[in-house]
Amino acid sequence: MTSGPQTISSRDNPLLARLRKLKDDPGAYRRLGEIWLEGEHLCTACTARGRPVLQAVYSESGWANAKLRPLAVAAPRVAVLSDALFAGISGLESPAGVGYLIAASDAARLQPGEASLVLDRLQDAGNVGSILRSAAALGVPQVIALKGTAALWSPKVLRAGMGAHFALRLVEGAAIDALDTLALPLLATSSHAQRSLFEGALPSPCAWVFGHEGQGVAAELLARCTETRRIPQPGGEESLNVAAAAAICCYESLRQRQTTIA
Task: Give domain 116-261's CATH architecture.
Answer: 3-Layer(aba) Sandwich (3.40)
Global pTM value: 0.94
What type of residue is 77?
R
Per-residue model confidence (pLDDT) at position 3 = 62
118: left (phi over 0), alpha (psi -120 to 50) or beta: beta
CA 247 from centroid of its chain's CA atoms = 14
3-class DSSP assignment, residue 189: strand
**Digits of tens for pLDDT over the chain (262 positions)?**
556 799 999 999 999 999 999 999 999 999 999 999 999 999 999 999 999 999 999 999 999 999 999 999 999 999 999 999 999 999 999 999 999 999 998 778 999 999 999 999 999 999 999 999 999 999 999 999 999 999 999 999 999 999 999 999 999 999 999 999 999 999 999 988 999 999 999 999 999 999 999 999 999 999 999 999 999 988 877 778 999 999 999 999 999 999 877 5
Are 6-103 and 116-261 equal in CATH topology? no
Give the torsion sign (CA, 179, 146, 115, 203).
Answer: negative
Q: Are 46 and 164 spatial neighbours (Cβ–Cβ below 8 Å)?
A: no
> Domain 6-103 classified CATH 3.30.1330.30?
yes
Alpha carbons 142 and 92: distance in angstroms, whole number:
28
Q: Are 98 and 36 spatial neighbours (Cβ–Cβ below 8 Å)?
A: no
Per-residue model confidence (pLDDT) at position 212 = 95
Q: What is the domain partition of the chain in residue ranges?
A: 6-103, 116-261
Per-residue model confidence (pLDDT) at position 259 = 85
Helical (H) or strand (E) element with 130: helix 125-137
